[in-house]
Amino acid sequence: MRRFVFFIFLLFTGFGMLAQNQYSLPDTVVLDEIVTFGELRKYQTGAKIDKIPATLVQLAQEGGIENVLRRFTPVYIKSDAGGLSTIHFRGTSASHTSINFGGINLNSLTLGHSNLSSIPMFLFDGVSVQYGSSSTINGSGAIGGAVYLTLSEEWANGLKVTAKTSVGSFGEFLGGAKIYLGNGKWESVTRAYWYLKENDFPFNNYYTGNIETPGPVRDVQRGASVQNRGFLQEINYKFSKNQFFKSSVWIGNNWYQVQPNMQSNYQYSGTQVINDDYIRIWADYTNNEHKVNFKGGAGYVHDMLVYDNNETQQIGTDRLISEIGASTDFSSGLGLKAGAAYKYINPNVYSYSDQAIDFEHQLDLYLSSFYQINRNLRFSLNLRQMFVTNYEAPFTPSFGAEYTLRAGSESYLKFTSTLAKSYRVPTFNDRYWGTQGNPDLLPESGKNAELGAKYYFGTDACQTTFGLNAFYMDVENWIEWRNFGVWQAQNVREVVSKGIEFHSNTRFLIGEMEADFTFNYTFNPVEPINNVEENGLLNRQMNYSPLHMGNSSLGLKYKMWRFFADGQYTGWRYTDDFGHTLPAFFVANCGFGYLFDLKKHNFDVTISSLNFLNADYQNQKYYAMPGRSFKLSLKYDLNTRL
């Protein structure tokens, strides 16, 4: 109760300061001609947030967003070759990352995480990745990191059409289109896609279960088909330059077969299927024309998953969500934002008892501020308190700082630091699944500290960036499902994740050729330091947490030609509590493309090869992954003005 009164006091104090403010600036802080803060970074000083370049996003639009994240970020993606992929930031679990679209966290409220394979990359125009705790911004679950999916702000004045189709090995096909229509004031954007993959690839089967056939047997994957389809409709209206309304309706269906492991595939007798239908609606209104900037939004989310076509065992939720906030800049160096986010959740899960849960309310109150002492030194402070029906969530603050040191007119060195608390309220399954749900679970609670340094050098001929981050994260009351006589969720561990991340990007000119080279490396020890069970897992790398990861990419552009290559290294991983491991692997991809125009019609033809070195590897133990494959893509653009 004291925390609630304290937080209400902070909110009213913040809004009172907003109302009394006599000066306002646009909702952007400009440090100088090189360093600018967008809305995402404005109140998160010191946070490591990277935007994946659009040129790289274009190379991996087939399938889900896991393809982009796996190839171009140092984040571990645990996946099979079928329809299931989960993300693991800095050694945390899949439920420790928030996946954000507009005002919606896409994570399942029953499982607590997202299947990245079911989030189509083709629908979105941008992806940004935040490393480390961000619960003060994103709420429950953002312990390890966050992913932000964005749509471009075209404000079309005329007709613009983008269509893409691609065909590839193992029965892969993508067909999609984006249609922009508007007059510069109102805008309609329609995005639709259809993706399928048979996944009938050959592989070396090491686990046939046949004693008379030792060693690998050449096999073909069966029962791992994927089919995803859907559309996203936007209706946007601009009242003025700083006042606008945006809305989006996203409807889709994901269907996939549960990939058999190697032994089941060799003795194939059929497989189960997952069918997932969803509706995601979000609309918001922004008004930045006055001394106090205002933004409010509301939405609805329906998720329904059916396992193996059994309609009596549905797993679904309905959400009504809303968010309201106000912000202002008292000066170029001082700003404040305050707001509230609300969710009404109605679960529809066959194994939940009506006596256990009928609905749940969730309310988040937050207050954010930044303070820039001079052009070199800047701070931010974020506070958040969540209130949940019949549950107590922790108070969550974060603090960030940045110092920029000028090394000359063409370069600078920036030092960053953050201190943050984070949390995750247990999922509905954790608390209410049949007789195994555990309503007495404590929320997971994390503490995160991070230091970083970033060097930038730029001329007309060359621009280069080097970044190094060191982090330490301690997560208490870690939740896992274990067999304590009966399978049940329990707070079983305290886990410490620490490490370093290195990033570099260089763009340069070689005559008429433009080149872009990126390199990422992560060293990440992740160990439980306190265990409910003394089973030998203490002070040992966590399962499916690689100690070493790295990737690099090279892009070359010469006139109308494009060449690209990228590779990903994943270190060895423990796979179970008995010390079994999977070896490290390296996957490389390459390709080239050619652009040409026919009057107003633009075409882009791309030929690529994935895993062109034909690596034989397993990302998840006993599950085969495809070898070398090829893909042909054709993209078409039309842009006309009214």
Helix (H) or strand (E) segment spanning residue 72: helix 66-72
Nearest to 588 by CA among 605, 602, 609, 574: 609
Residue 491's φ and ψ, nearest 5 degrees, are -80, 100
- Reduced to 3 states (helix: H, G, I; strand: E, B; else coil), residue 533 is coil
Say how far apart CA 98 and CA 87 lie, in whole Å.
10
> 567-583, pLDDT tens digit by residue?
999 999 999 888 899 99
* 106, 97 Cβ separation under 8 angstroms: no
Say if CB 626 and CB 617 are below 8 A apart: no
Residues of the chain with pLDDT under 70: 1-38, 211-214, 532-537, 642
What domains can you pick out in the chain, each with its CATH number?
2-640 (2.40.170.20)
- Return d(Cα 451, Cα 47) in angstroms, integer: 9
In the numeric block, which tokens belong to residue 634? Answer: 């054709």
First to last CA, the chain: 58
Q: Where are the beta strands (DSSP E) in 42-113?
A: 48-51, 76-79, 85-88, 97-101, 104-105
360 CB neighbour count, 10 Å cutoff: 21
| 67-87 pLDDT, tens digit each | 999 999 999 999 999 889 999
d(CA 448, CA 131) in angstroms, rounded, equals 11
DSSP SS3 for 18: helix
Q: What is the pLDDT of residue 29?
A: 35
Task: Note the pLDDT of residue 199.
Answer: 96
Coil, strand or helix: which one is 55?
helix
Residues 272 and 258 sit within 8 Å (Cβ to Cβ): yes
What does the pLDDT read at residue 2?
Answer: 43
- State the DSSP code for 562: E
Specify the pTM.
0.92
pLDDT of residue 619: 95
